[in-house]
Structure 1
Amino acid sequence: MKSLIEIRNLNIAYGGPSGWTNVVQDVSFEIGRGEAFGLVGESGCGKSTVAYRLLGYGTINSLVQTGEVLFDGTDLLKLDAGALARLRGNRIAFVPQNPTTSLSPGMRVGSQIREMIATHRALPEGMTMERRIVELFALVGLPDVSRRYPHELSGGQQQRVTIAMAVACNPDLLVLDEPTTGLDVTTQRQIIQLLRDLRTRIGMAMLYVTHDLALLAQIADRVGVMYAGQLIEVAPCDRLLQTPAHPYSRGLIGSIPTIDGTDRQALGLRGVLRRDQMAGGCKFAPRCDFATAACRTMPQLLEPIGVARFIACMRWREAAAPQTAASAVRSGIKGALKSDRLLAVTGLNLSYGDPGILDRLVGRTSPSVVREIDLELRAGEVVALVGESGSGKSTIARAISGRLPPRAGVISLDGNLLTSTLKNRSVEQLRQIQYIFQNPDASLNPRRPIRAILQRPLKHFGIGSDGQTLEGVLESVGLHAGYLDRFPEQLSGGERQRIAIARALLVRPKILICDEILSALDVSVQARIVELLRSLKEKHAVAMLFISHDLAVVQQLADRVTVLYRGELMQLGDTATLLENPLHPYTEMLLEAAPALKKDSYVSRPPTVPTSKGAPGIGCPLAGRCPRQVGSICADMPPPVQKTGTGYIRCHIPVSKLPTRVVQSEQKQLA
C-alpha cells in the first residue's frame, strides 16, 4: 500500500524564552491511502500534538525541533500559510474533540458548511448548495438543521455537524481528534459506520486519535500506542487488542471497563504519567512491574518483533507472559443506601425558547423537549441518566441545577421546594448542588491559573483552605501540585476535565451532577475517577446524577438507571437487573450498540422521525424505529407504565411477552 502521509523522526517541544521541554520524541509512522491508523495513549502523551502537525497547526509556544511530515511527497512543515490554507478542509480535513469551540456561535450551522464548500469550490456539478448541505446532514444522521445555531443543538448533534463539514470536500485524509467522546453509543456506531462507508467510497485515509480502544477496534487497521511523547508499540489493531506486547499496552487495555461489570484493575495501570519523574531510559519504567536497572538507563527504540509489528521494550517477552487477575463481578448496588430522599423531581416538563407576542395571543407555545419526568435521588445514591444525544439528559440536569426554568413540575431538595432559577436560590443550596460540565474548555476561565480557578469557589462559599487542600484534591483526580500555576491552555483535554472535577469536589456538595464527565478521559484516569466517586458515595453519602453514554462505567458506579428517549422516560430500574435483562426495546438497542474489544458486525439503526399522527407526546417516541413495534398503536397511543421487579417500563408490549436474555456474552468471554 502506497503511503499517503509519512511522519519521520518528529520532535516537538513546548516552552519559550526560559527554555524548551521535549514533548514528542522521534515519532515515525506512515498511513497508506484508504487506511485507518489509530493513535492511542493516556491524556498528555502527545497524540493530539502529533495530529495537529498533520494539518500544519502548532501553538505559539511550540517548536518542531526536527522531523518531516510528508503528505503526498510534500513536507507540510515547509509550506507557507497560503499553501496550508488550500490543503486544510480540502485534501486534509479535521474533526476536533470539542465541537462547542470549533463552531462559530454567531453563524447558523448551514452557513458554516456553505462557507467550507464555497471556499474550496467543492460543490458537485449539477447540484445546488442547499441540496448538498441537506445531503451532508443526512449523511451523518441529522435532519435539515441548516437554520439552527450551534447552541440550539445537543453536544452530539454539534459533533455530527463538524463531521459533515469535514467530509464536505471529500478529503484524502481525515484527522479525527477524539471525535466521539461526547456521543452516545448508538450515535458513535453510526459515525463509525459512516466513516467506514466513506473509506470504501472515496478511499479516504484516517488518523484516528482516541482513548476508546473498543470503538477503535471497529474501524482501525493499525494502531500506534504513545507514552510520554514516544511511540512504544505499533501493530495491526486486532493483534494489539488481543495480544498486547508492551507492558503499557497491556495495562491500558486491562483498564478498560466491560459491560458485564468484571473488575479487571489487577491488570490495569498503576500510578499516573509524571514527566518530572521519568527515567533516563524507558519513560514507562517508574510505572512498570517488569522494569530493571537497565530499563531505567537504556533508551528503548522501536524494533520489529513480527510482521508489521514494532515494540520499544527489552522485556516484552516477560511482560507478554500470561498474568493472573483477581476477577470480581461488581453488582449494580454498591453498599447500603440511606433511605432519606434528598432530591425529588415531579411532573417535570421543559422547553427551550420563549414564545413571542403573536404566539401568546394565539395560545401557541414551543413544544416540550422533556415531558412528565418523575425522579428521586437518595443520599449516597447514584442514579444514571442514559440515552442518545438529544434525549433530554443534560436538559433535566440544567433544570435541577437552576439553569433552565421548568415549564411545569416541581423540584425539591431535602423536602424544601427549590426555586426555578439560580439567582433566587440560597448560597447554601448552591453549594449543595454542584455541576460538572461535559466541556471543560467552556467551564474553566482561560485567563486564570489553576490555583485561582480552584480558590474561587472556596472564597465564594466561605470555606477555608490551605495549600494542602488544593494539592490533596488534585492528587485525588490524578494530578499533582505542579499544575496549580499552569493555565487551562497548557493542559490537555483530559487534564482540564480533571480540574473541573476537582473544583466541584472542593466545596463538599451533597449532590454532584456529572454531565458526561468521563468522556474526555483516558481509561486509566476513568478508573481513578470512578474509584474517587465511589469513595465519596460510600464514605460521605454524596448523591450523584450521573449522565453518561458509557454503559460499562454506569455498571461500575450507578445504583439505578433511568433510560430516556426523545424527552420521555422509557425505563427505570436497578443497574444490575436492567443491564442483565433490559426488557425495553430501546434499552436493548443501547446495550447491543456497546462495542467490544474486537470488530463486530453491528449495523446501526439511525434515528428516524416518529410516525405518530398526533402532537409530540401522543404516541411512543420510539415508534418508527422500534424493532418490536406493534402496528399503529405504538405511533398513535401513549405507552402504558408497567411495573417490573425493580422499577418500571413504558411500552405497549406486556412485560411477560418481552424477551429476556443476558446481554454482551461476547464481552464477558473477553475477560
Structure 2
Amino acid sequence: MTKLIEIRNLGIAYGGHAGWTDVVEGVCLEIARGETFGLVGESGCGKSTVAYRLLGYGAANSRVQTGEVLFEGIDLLKLDASSLARLRGNRIALVPQNPTTALSPGMRVGQQIREMILTHQALPERMSMEQRIRDLFALVGLPDVSRRYPHELSGGQQQRVTIAMAVSCNPDLLVLDEPTTGLDVTTQRQIIQLLSDLRSRIGMAMLYVTHDLALLAQIADRIGVMYAGKLVEVAPCDRLLSNPAHPYSRGLIASIPTIMHGHRGGRGLRGVLRRDQMAEGCKFEPRCDFATATCRSTPQQLIPVADEQSVACMRWSDIVDTADSIPSSISGLRPKRQAARLLSVEHLSLSYAPAGWFSELLGKTPIPIARDIDLELGAGEIVALVGESGSGKSTIARAISGRLPPRSGTIRVAAKELEPTLAQRSVEQLRQIQYIFQNPDASLNPRRSVRAILERPLQHFGIASTPEKFESALENVGLHAGYLNRFPEQLSGGERQRVAIARALLVNPELLICDEILSALDVSVQTKIVELLLVLKEQHGVAMLFISHDLAVVRQLADRVAVLYRGELMQMVDTDALFNSPLHPYTEMLLGAAPGLSKDEYVPKPPAMPDSQSIAGRGCPLAGRCPRQVGALCAESRPPSQITQSGFIRCHIPLAELAQGTTDSANTRPTQVSGVPPLLRLQTGA
C-alpha cells in the first residue's frame, strides 16, 4: 500500500520557565492510504499529543524537540499557519472526543457543516449546498437535522454530526480522538460501522486514538501501543490482541473485563505510570514483573520480532504468559447478603419542561423523560443502571441527587423523604449523596489547584483536612501527592476524572451516584477504580448507583442491574442472572452489541431518530423495534410487570416463552431468540 503519512523520531516536550519535560520520545510510525491505525496506551502516555501534531496542533506550553511528520512527503511541522489551515478539514480532518465542546452551541449544525465546505470550496459541481448537507447526514445515518442546534441532539447524534463535518471535504486522513467515549454499546457499534463504511467508500486512512481495545478490534488494521511517550509495540490488530509480545501490552489486555466472565482473570498491570520514577533504560521497568538490572539501565528500541510485529523489549522471547496461574484480585467478589434499605425511589416521573402556569402561558407541553420508576438500594449494594443514550439514566440520577425536581413520586434515604431540590436539603443529606459526573472538564474548577478542589468539600461539610488525607485520597485513585499543586488543565482527561472521584470519596458518603465515571479511563485505571469501589462497598458499606454503558464492567462490579429504555425500567435482576439468561429482548440487544477482543460480524441497521414522545404513549416503548413484538398488543398496551426469581421484567411475552430463546450458559452470549439471527440487527435512536 502507498504510504500516506509518516512520523519520524518525533519528540515533544512540555514546560516553560521551570524547564522542559519530554512527553513524547522517538515515536516512529507510518499509515498507508486506506489503513486504520489504532494508538492505545494509558492516560497521559502521549497518544493524543502525537495525534494532534498530525494536524499541526500543539499546546501553548509544548514544543517539538525532534523529528518530522511527513504528509505525502511534506513536513507538517515546517508549514506556516495559512498552509496548515488549507490542510485542516480538507486533507486531514479531526473527530474530537467531546462533540459538545466541538460544536458551536449558538449555530445550527447545518450551518456549521456549510461553513466547513465553503472554507475549502469543496462543493461538487451541479450540487446545491442543501443537497450536499443532506447527503452528509444520510452518510452518517441521520435524517436532515440541519436546522437543529447541538443541544437538541443526543450525544450519539452530536458525534455523528462531527463525523459528517469531518468527512465533508473527503479528507485523505481522519484523526479520531476517543470518538466513542461515553456512548452506549449500540451507538458505539453504529459509529464503528459508519467509519468502516466511510473508509471503503472514500478510501480515507484513519488514526484512531482510544483506550477501548475491544472496539479497536472491530476496525483497526494495525495497533501501536504507547507507554510514557514511547512506542513499545506495533503489530497487526489480531496478532497483538491474541499474542502480545511486550509485558505492557500483555498487562493492558489482561486488564480488560468481558461480558462472559467479568474480569479476564489474568495478570493485569500493577502500579501506575509515574514519570518521576522511570528508569534511564526501559521506562516500563518499575512496573514490569520480568525486568532485570540490565533493563533499568539499557534503553529499549523497537525491533522486529515477527512479520509486521515490532517490540521494544530485550526479554520478549523469554516472557512466559502467567495469566492462567494468577487470578484477578477482583474476580468473584460479589457475596450475597441482606442489607438494610438505604435508597428508595417510588413512582418517580420526570420531565424537562416544567409544568405550571409559565409553561401553559408559553404553550409548552412537558416532555416526559421517565415514568413510574421504582428503585431500591441497600447499604453496601451496587445497582447498575444501563441503557442507550437518551434513555433517561442521568435524568434519574439528577433527580435522586436533587438537581432535577420530579413531577411526581418520592425519594427516601435511610427512610427519610428527601426534599426535591438541593437548596431544600440539609447539609447532612447533601453529604450522604455524592455525585461523580461523567465529564470532569465541567465539574472541576479550572482556576483552582487539585489541593483546593479536594479541600472545598471538606470545608463545606466541616470536616478537618490534613495533608495526609489528601495524599491518601489521591493514592486511592492511582495518583500521588505531586498532583496537589497542579491545575486541571495540566492533567489528562483520565487524571481529571480520578481527581473528581477522589473529591467525592473524601466526605465519606453513604450513596455514590457514578455517572459514566469510567468511560474516559484506560482499562488499567478502570481496574484500580473498580477495586477501590469494591473496597468501599465491602469495608464501609457505601451504596452506589452505577450508570454505565460498559456491560463488562457492570458484570464485574454490580450486584443488580436495572435496564432502562426510553424512560421506563424494562428489567431489574441480579447481575449473574441477567448475563446468564437475559430474558428481555432489549437486554439481549444490548448484550449482542457488546464487542469482544476479536472481530465479529455484527452489523447494526442505520439508526433512527428517537421519538421524544414515545414514553407518553400507551404501549411498550420498545414497540416497533422489538424482534419479538406481539402484533398490535405491544404498540397499544403497556406491558405488565412479571416477577422473576431475582427481580422483575416488563414484557407481554410470558416468562416461559422468553426463557426458551436465551442461553443457559454463563460462558456464551445469547445465540437464538425465536428465530432471530444470533446478532440482532438494531435500529436505534442515537
Coarse TM-score class (shorter-chain normalised): over 0.9
Gaps of 5+ in 2: 671-686
Would you say the 8 A contact 1:176–1:209 is kept in 2? yes
Q: Does 1:626 align with 2:626?
A: yes
Q: What pairs up with 1:201-600 in 2 under 5 angstroms? A: 201-321=201-321, 323-327=323-327, 334-354=334-354, 360=360, 365-600=365-600
Cα offsets for 1:389-419 (capped at 9, x unmatched) = 1111111111111111212222122222212
Cα deviation for residue 103 of structure 1 reads 2.2
**Partners of 2:644 and 2:184 in 1: CA distance:** 25
- SS state of the match for residue 632, structure 1? helix
Cα deviation for residue 123 of structure 1 reads 3.3
**Partners of 2:88 and 2:476 in 1: CA distance:** 40
Give the match for residue 661 of structure 1: 663
Give the match for residue 99 of structure 1: 99
**Partners of 1:276 and 1:330 in 2: CA distance:** 28
Give the match for residue 112 of structure 1: 112
Letter in 2 for 1:86: R
- SS state of the match for residue 631, structure 2? coil
**Partners of 1:362 and 1:499 in 2: CA distance:** 42
Letter in 1 for 2:205: A
Cα deviation for residue 460 of structure 1 reads 1.0
**Partners of 2:453 and 2:613 in 1: CA distance:** 51
Cα deviation for residue 520 of structure 1 reads 0.5
The two structures have a TM-score, normalised by structure 2, of 0.93
Cα deviation for residue 606 of structure 1 reads 4.2
Give the match for residue 88 of structure 1: 88
- SS state of the match for residue 151, structure 1? helix
Would you say the 8 A contact 1:612–1:635 is kept in 2? no
Letter in 1 for 2:401: S
**Partners of 1:125 and 1:10 in 2: CA distance:** 40
Would you say the 8 A contact 2:6–2:29 is kept in 1? yes
Cα deviation for residue 363 of structure 1 reads 7.4
**Partners of 1:611 and 1:500 in 2: CA distance:** 34
**Partners of 1:595 and 1:67 in 2: CA distance:** 37
Q: Does 1:636 align with 2:636?
A: yes
**Partners of 2:456 and 2:150 in 1: CA distance:** 29
**Partners of 2:613 and 2:405 in 1: CA distance:** 29
Would you say the 8 A contact 1:259–1:664 is kept in 2? no
- SS state of the match for residue 524, structure 2? helix
**Partners of 2:135 and 2:454 in 1: CA distance:** 46
Mean Cα displacement is larger for which, 313-322 or 12-21?
Answer: 313-322
Change (3 A) 1:312 1:17: same
Cα deviation for residue 170 of structure 1 reads 2.0
Give the match for residue 31 of structure 1: 31
**Partners of 1:332 and 1:32 in 2: CA distance:** 44
Cα deviation for residue 620 of structure 1 reads 1.6
Would you say the 8 A contact 1:609–1:624 is kept in 2? no
Mean Cα displacement is larger for which, 81-90 or 28-37?
Answer: 81-90
**Partners of 1:607 and 1:584 in 2: CA distance:** 21
**Partners of 2:80 and 2:184 in 1: CA distance:** 39
Mean Cα displacement is larger for which, 645-654 or 271-280?
Answer: 645-654
**Partners of 2:537 and 2:389 in 1: CA distance:** 27
Give the match for residue 15 of structure 1: 15
**Partners of 2:186 and 2:381 in 1: CA distance:** 27
Letter in 1 for 2:427: V
Change (3 A) 1:362 1:207: closer
Cα offsets for 1:153-205 (capped at 9, x unmatched) = 44333333322222222211111111111111111110000000001000010
Would you say the 8 A contact 1:98–1:439 is kept in 2? no
Mean Cα displacement is larger for which, 263-272 or 43-52?
Answer: 263-272
The two structures have a TM-score, normalised by structure 1, of 0.95
Letter in 2 for 1:501: I
- SS state of the match for residue 159, structure 2? helix
Give the match for residue 179 of structure 1: 179
Cα offsets for 1:641-660 (capped at 9, x unmatched) = 11211111111211111112
**Partners of 2:130 and 2:412 in 1: CA distance:** 47
Would you say the 8 A contact 1:607–1:625 is kept in 2? no
Cα deviation for residue 216 of structure 1 reads 0.4
Cα offsets for 1:280-337 (capped at 9, x unmatched) = 1100111111111111111100111121111110000111556533457988882244
**Partners of 1:612 and 1:152 in 2: CA distance:** 11
Letter in 2 for 1:416: K
Cα offsets for 1:490-530 (capped at 9, x unmatched) = 11111111011001001111111100000110111000000
Q: Tell me how many residue pairs correspond in the alignment.
A: 668
Mean Cα displacement is larger for which, 192-201 or 66-75?
Answer: 66-75
Letter in 2 for 1:564: L
Cα deviation for residue 126 of structure 1 reads 4.1
**Partners of 1:66 and 1:362 in 2: CA distance:** 61
- SS state of the match for residue 573, structure 2? strand
Would you say the 8 A contact 2:570–2:649 is kept in 1? yes
**Partners of 1:79 and 1:320 in 2: CA distance:** 47
Mean Cα displacement is larger for which, 428-437 or 337-346?
Answer: 337-346
**Partners of 1:613 and 1:53 in 2: CA distance:** 44
Mean Cα displacement is larger for which, 364-373 or 519-528?
Answer: 364-373
Letter in 2 for 1:617: G
Q: Does 1:63 align with 2:66?
A: no
- SS state of the match for residue 456, structure 1? helix
Mean Cα displacement is larger for which, 252-261 or 634-643?
Answer: 634-643
**Partners of 1:332 and 1:381 in 2: CA distance:** 15
Calculate percent identity across the aligned residue pairs. Answer: 73
Query: CA RMSD of the aligned region, Å?
Result: 2.3
Cα offsets for 1:15-61 (capped at 9, x unmatched) = 01221111100000000000000001111111010001011000010
Would you say the 8 A contact 2:255–2:263 is kept in 1? no
Letter in 2 for 1:270: R
Letter in 1 for 2:662: T
Letter in 1 for 2:290: F
- SS state of the match for residue 368, structure 2? coil
Would you say the 8 A contact 1:12–1:22 is kept in 2? yes
Would you say the 8 A contact 1:235–1:309 is kept in 2? yes
Would you say the 8 A contact 1:252–1:268 is kept in 2? yes
Cα offsets for 1:526-571 (capped at 9, x unmatched) = 0000000001111111111100011110001111101111111111
Cα deviation for residue 664 of structure 1 reads 7.8
Cα deviation for residue 11 of structure 1 reads 0.3
Cα offsets for 1:588-641 (capped at 9, x unmatched) = 011011111111101114443679998833222222221222223222222221
**Partners of 1:444 and 1:337 in 2: CA distance:** 36
**Partners of 2:459 and 2:244 in 1: CA distance:** 48
Would you say the 8 A contact 1:337–1:378 is kept in 2? no
Give the match for residue 684 of structure 2: none
- SS state of the match for residue 406, structure 2? coil
**Partners of 1:224 and 1:325 in 2: CA distance:** 28
- SS state of the match for residue 13, structure 2? strand
**Partners of 1:38 and 1:615 in 2: CA distance:** 40
Change (3 A) 1:134 1:419: farther
Letter in 2 for 1:661: T
Cα deviation for residue 209 of structure 1 reads 0.6
Cα offsets for 1:226-258 (capped at 9, x unmatched) = 010000100000000000001111111001011
Give the match for residue 649 of structure 1: 649
Change (3 A) 1:251 1:362: closer
